[in-house]
Amino acid sequence: MHGSSCIGGLLGENNTGTIINSYNTGNVSSYSHYGASNIGGIAGNNGSGVVNLCYNAGNVSGHNIVGGVTGGHTSPGAIANCLSLGKSITANYSVAKITVGNGSNYYNNAREDIMVISYNNTYTNNGGFVYLGTPISSIFYSNDTGVWSIPASNLTANCALPTLLNMPPGTQNPKLQP
Protein backbone atom coordinates (compact mmCIF):
# COMPACT_ATOMS: atom_id res chain seq x y z
CA MET A 1 0.00 0.00 0.00
CA HIS A 2 1.43 3.36 -0.97
CA GLY A 3 -0.17 6.80 -0.63
CA SER A 4 0.21 10.25 0.89
CA SER A 5 -1.77 10.45 4.17
CA CYS A 6 -4.07 8.27 6.36
CA ILE A 7 -2.70 5.07 4.86
CA GLY A 8 -3.20 1.62 6.34
CA GLY A 9 -2.61 -1.92 5.19
CA LEU A 10 -6.37 -2.55 5.43
CA LEU A 11 -8.04 0.80 6.06
CA GLY A 12 -7.04 4.47 5.91
CA GLU A 13 -9.19 5.76 8.76
CA ASN A 14 -11.28 3.89 11.32
CA ASN A 15 -13.46 6.47 13.07
CA THR A 16 -16.12 4.37 14.81
CA GLY A 17 -15.90 0.90 13.27
CA THR A 18 -14.40 -2.40 14.38
CA ILE A 19 -11.52 -4.15 12.64
CA ILE A 20 -11.33 -7.70 13.97
CA ASN A 21 -9.66 -10.97 12.93
CA SER A 22 -7.61 -9.39 10.13
CA TYR A 23 -4.04 -9.22 8.95
CA ASN A 24 -1.78 -7.41 6.49
CA THR A 25 1.43 -8.74 4.96
CA GLY A 26 2.24 -5.91 2.55
CA ASN A 27 4.53 -2.97 3.21
CA VAL A 28 2.78 0.35 3.86
CA SER A 29 4.47 3.63 2.99
CA SER A 30 3.90 7.28 2.21
CA TYR A 31 5.23 8.81 -0.97
CA SER A 32 5.15 12.32 0.50
CA HIS A 33 8.21 13.27 2.55
CA TYR A 34 6.61 16.34 4.14
CA GLY A 35 3.21 16.57 5.78
CA ALA A 36 2.16 12.96 5.30
CA SER A 37 0.90 11.49 8.55
CA ASN A 38 -1.09 8.62 10.05
CA ILE A 39 0.55 5.60 8.43
CA GLY A 40 -0.11 2.16 9.99
CA GLY A 41 0.19 -1.54 9.24
CA ILE A 42 -3.54 -2.16 9.78
CA ALA A 43 -5.15 1.33 9.84
CA GLY A 44 -3.64 4.74 9.17
CA ASN A 45 -5.69 6.29 11.97
CA ASN A 46 -7.91 4.75 14.63
CA GLY A 47 -10.24 7.40 16.09
CA SER A 48 -13.05 6.07 18.25
CA GLY A 49 -12.87 2.64 16.62
CA VAL A 50 -11.67 -0.75 17.82
CA VAL A 51 -8.83 -2.82 16.35
CA ASN A 52 -8.79 -6.33 17.83
CA LEU A 53 -7.11 -9.68 17.09
CA CYS A 54 -5.11 -8.36 14.13
CA TYR A 55 -1.52 -8.54 13.00
CA ASN A 56 0.70 -6.69 10.56
CA ALA A 57 3.68 -8.50 9.03
CA GLY A 58 4.77 -5.71 6.65
CA ASN A 59 7.21 -2.84 7.11
CA VAL A 60 5.71 0.62 7.71
CA SER A 61 7.27 3.97 6.80
CA GLY A 62 6.18 7.59 6.51
CA HIS A 63 6.84 11.16 7.59
CA ASN A 64 4.95 11.49 10.89
CA ILE A 65 2.66 9.45 13.20
CA VAL A 66 3.73 6.00 11.99
CA GLY A 67 2.95 2.75 13.83
CA GLY A 68 3.18 -0.99 13.29
CA VAL A 69 -0.57 -1.52 13.89
CA THR A 70 -2.05 1.99 13.54
CA GLY A 71 -0.44 5.35 12.92
CA GLY A 72 -2.69 7.69 14.89
CA HIS A 73 -4.83 6.47 17.76
CA THR A 74 -7.10 8.64 19.91
CA SER A 75 -9.34 8.11 22.91
CA PRO A 76 -11.86 6.46 23.23
CA GLY A 77 -10.50 4.12 20.55
CA ALA A 78 -9.01 0.79 21.57
CA ILE A 79 -6.37 -1.55 20.19
CA ALA A 80 -6.24 -5.02 21.74
CA ASN A 81 -4.55 -8.37 21.12
CA CYS A 82 -2.65 -7.09 18.07
CA LEU A 83 0.84 -7.84 16.82
CA SER A 84 3.39 -5.78 14.90
CA LEU A 85 5.53 -8.39 13.13
CA GLY A 86 7.11 -6.33 10.35
CA LYS A 87 10.90 -5.94 10.38
CA SER A 88 10.95 -2.12 10.52
CA ILE A 89 8.91 0.99 11.28
CA THR A 90 10.44 4.26 10.08
CA ALA A 91 9.41 7.92 10.37
CA ASN A 92 10.94 11.38 10.41
CA TYR A 93 8.98 12.27 13.56
CA SER A 94 6.51 10.36 15.78
CA VAL A 95 6.90 6.61 15.48
CA ALA A 96 5.85 3.60 17.61
CA LYS A 97 6.07 -0.15 17.41
CA ILE A 98 2.28 -0.42 18.01
CA THR A 99 0.63 3.03 17.74
CA VAL A 100 1.18 6.77 18.26
CA GLY A 101 -1.54 8.35 20.40
CA ASN A 102 -3.45 8.25 23.65
CA GLY A 103 -6.15 5.64 23.00
CA SER A 104 -6.35 2.41 24.99
CA ASN A 105 -3.80 -0.35 24.33
CA TYR A 106 -4.29 -3.88 25.70
CA TYR A 107 -2.11 -6.96 25.20
CA ASN A 108 -0.33 -5.72 22.08
CA ASN A 109 3.15 -6.92 21.13
CA ALA A 110 5.88 -6.48 18.53
CA ARG A 111 8.62 -8.83 17.38
CA GLU A 112 11.76 -8.59 19.52
CA ASP A 113 14.10 -7.59 16.69
CA ILE A 114 11.87 -4.88 15.21
CA MET A 115 13.79 -1.81 14.06
CA VAL A 116 11.98 1.38 15.06
CA ILE A 117 13.67 4.36 13.42
CA SER A 118 12.85 7.99 14.17
CA TYR A 119 15.14 10.53 12.59
CA ASN A 120 13.97 13.10 15.17
CA ASN A 121 14.06 10.77 18.23
CA THR A 122 10.31 10.87 18.91
CA TYR A 123 9.67 7.20 19.66
CA THR A 124 6.79 5.78 21.71
CA ASN A 125 7.63 2.41 23.26
CA ASN A 126 4.19 0.85 23.79
CA GLY A 127 3.34 -2.83 23.93
CA GLY A 128 5.52 -5.80 24.80
CA PHE A 129 7.65 -8.13 22.71
CA VAL A 130 7.30 -11.59 21.21
CA TYR A 131 10.51 -13.56 20.83
CA LEU A 132 11.79 -15.56 17.91
CA GLY A 133 11.62 -19.27 18.73
CA THR A 134 8.36 -18.92 20.68
CA PRO A 135 5.56 -21.34 19.67
CA ILE A 136 3.14 -19.47 17.39
CA SER A 137 0.21 -20.99 19.29
CA SER A 138 1.31 -19.19 22.47
CA ILE A 139 1.68 -15.84 20.64
CA PHE A 140 -1.78 -16.05 19.08
CA TYR A 141 -3.37 -17.64 22.18
CA SER A 142 -6.32 -15.25 22.29
CA ASN A 143 -7.28 -15.71 18.64
CA ASP A 144 -10.46 -17.69 18.03
CA THR A 145 -9.52 -21.09 16.55
CA GLY A 146 -12.93 -21.16 14.86
CA VAL A 147 -11.76 -18.17 12.77
CA TRP A 148 -7.98 -18.69 12.52
CA SER A 149 -5.74 -21.55 11.42
CA ILE A 150 -2.70 -21.27 13.69
CA PRO A 151 0.47 -23.14 12.62
CA ALA A 152 1.97 -25.63 15.08
CA SER A 153 5.49 -24.24 14.71
CA ASN A 154 7.77 -21.65 16.27
CA LEU A 155 8.15 -18.00 15.26
CA THR A 156 11.20 -17.96 12.98
CA ALA A 157 12.30 -16.12 9.84
CA ASN A 158 10.10 -17.12 6.88
CA CYS A 159 7.75 -19.20 9.07
CA ALA A 160 4.09 -19.51 8.16
CA LEU A 161 1.83 -17.13 10.09
CA PRO A 162 -1.84 -17.66 11.04
CA THR A 163 -4.42 -17.54 8.27
CA LEU A 164 -8.18 -17.05 8.29
CA LEU A 165 -10.37 -20.12 7.91
CA ASN A 166 -13.06 -20.39 5.23
CA MET A 167 -11.02 -18.52 2.60
CA PRO A 168 -10.53 -19.86 -0.94
CA PRO A 169 -7.60 -22.31 -1.21
CA GLY A 170 -4.32 -20.75 -2.28
CA THR A 171 -5.29 -17.18 -1.38
CA GLN A 172 -3.27 -16.91 1.84
CA ASN A 173 0.44 -17.51 2.44
CA PRO A 174 1.62 -15.06 5.13
CA LYS A 175 5.25 -15.41 6.21
CA LEU A 176 7.43 -13.67 8.81
CA GLN A 177 10.04 -11.48 7.13
CA PRO A 178 13.64 -12.54 7.83
Q: 51: domain CATH number? A: 2.160.20.110
Distances from the Cα of 17 to the Cα of 47, 93, 108, angstroms: 9, 27, 19
Max Cα–Cα distance, the chain, nearest Å: 45
Please check whether residue 159 lies inside any domain of the structure.
Answer: no
Q: Give the total number of structural domains in the chain.
A: 1
Give the tens place of pLDDT for each residue, 144-175. Answer: 778 999 999 999 999 999 999 999 989 999 99
Secondary structure letter of residue 112 according to DSSP? T
Residue 96 lies inside a defined structural domain of this protein = yes
CB 76 within 8 A of CB 105: no
The pTM of the whole model exceeds 0.85: yes
Residue-number span of the structural domain to which 72 is assigned: 2-130
Predicted confidence (pLDDT) per residue in 110-142, tens digit: 999 998 888 876 666 677 889 999 999 999 877
Q: Residue 83 falls within a domain, yes or no?
A: yes
Is 12 inside any structural domain? Answer: yes
